[in-house]
Amino acid sequence: MTEIIRTLSDAHLSQPSVITIGSFDGVHRGHAHLIQTVIAHAREKNAASIVVTLNPHPRMVLRPDSPMQLLSTLDERVELLAQQGLDYVVVFSFSLEQSKLRAREFVELLRNHLHIIELVCGPNFALGYRREGTIPVLQDLGKEFGFTITVVESHQFQDGIISSTRVRELVANGDVTEATTLLGRYPMLRGVVVHGDHRGRELGYPTANLEVPDRKLIPANGIYAVRVRLGNEWYDGAASIGIRPTFGGGKRLVEIFILDFSRWIYGEELEVYFIERLRDEEKFDSIQALLDQMALDVQNARAILKNVGVNDESLRRN
C-alpha cells in the first residue's frame, strides 16, 4: 500500500530511496513509463520507490495570472500516483519562496528527508532556482551527495511524445477519445451535485448539476456519453457542458442526465467519466426541436455505453 506524505518536511526515511520529481498532472502514460522505471530500480536496490509531486503547479505560482487549468486536482493526482504501485507519494508544497531554492539546497532536502540514492528523470529535467539544476549539474551533485542520475527518454506513443500540455489541449477541445488514449483511462470530473434552475426536470430530463473544483479542466462545450459513479454504483449517462443557448445562454454548467435513475442526490459526490463526444452544443429554434435532439442523444449514448464495462477497473485503460 502506498503511503501518502502531505509535506516533504514530514518525511524522515531511513531506508534509501529511488525518486522522481514533477507535477505529474493527469498521470498519463508517459508519467507511468517514468514511474515504472522508478519502481523497477527501487526493487533492484532494495530501496523505496517515491514520487515527489509539486503542488500547486509551478506555472500557477510563478505566473499567478495564468488561466491554466489542470487535468487532476491534488487529491485525484495522489490517488492516480498511488495506483501505480509506489511505496510513497510525497507532496512538495511549491511557493515563491520554494522556487528560490538553489539546486544544492533542493538536493540537500532530498538527501535529508528521503535518503535519496537515485534520481530518475526525463531528458529535459531541471530543478532549483531558474532551473539551474540541469542534468550535468545534478550528476556533479550526485557524486558529492551519493546518488546517481538515470535519464529516461520521453515515452513515444503512436504519433509522438505524450505530455500533460498535449492532453490538456485535447480535453479542452473536447477530443476525449484521443485524450483517453494518451491518459490510459477516461478523462474524469469529480464534483458535488448542487441545485440549478431545474429546467431539465421540467423538460423530462432531470440533470445533476455538478460543481467542479476551481482550476479543474472541463471538456469543451458539447454533449457526451458518460459513465457515472455514485458511491459504489455505476450508471450510464449523458453529459451536457455549456451555456444552454436555446434558453438565452448564461453561466457555463456541467449537467449530467443519469439514465434510468430517479434518486435525490443533492450534496452527494459524483465521478463522471467521459467516454465519447456526441456533438457540439447547439441553439435550437424550438423547445420541441431540442427535446427531439435530446432523445436522440440518449439513444446514441446508450448504444455507445453498452460496450463499456460496469466497474471502476474497466474505466482505466492502462
Fold held by 3-161: Rossmann fold (3.40.50)
What is the three-class DSSP state of 82?
Answer: helix
Using the 8-state DSSP alphabet, how is residue 288 labeled? H
Q: Pseudo-torsion of CA 309, 310, 313, 316, nearest 10°?
A: 50
pLDDT on residue 315: 52
Q: Which residues contact 314 (CB under 8 A, 6 or more apart)?
A: 308
Label the pairing between strands 156-157 and 148-151: unpaired
Q: Which CATH architecture has domain 187-315?
A: Beta Barrel (2.40)
Q: Which residues contact 264 (CB under 8 A, 6 or more apart)?
A: none
- Separation of alpha carbons 119 and 135, rounded Å: 10
Residue ranges of the domains in the chain?
3-161, 187-315
- Phi, psi values for residue 262, rounded to 5°: -140, 10
pLDDT on residue 209: 96
- Separation of alpha carbons 242 and 158, rounded Å: 32
pTM score of the predicted model: 0.93
pLDDT in tens, 209-265: 999 999 999 999 999 999 999 999 999 999 999 999 998 888 999 999 999 998 999
Residue 111: CB atoms within 10 A of its CB come to 16
**What averages of pLDDT result for each successive group of 10 residues across the chain (318 residues)?**
96 96 96 97 98 96 93 97 98 96 97 97 95 97 97 80 94 97 96 86 87 97 98 96 91 96 94 98 95 96 87 46
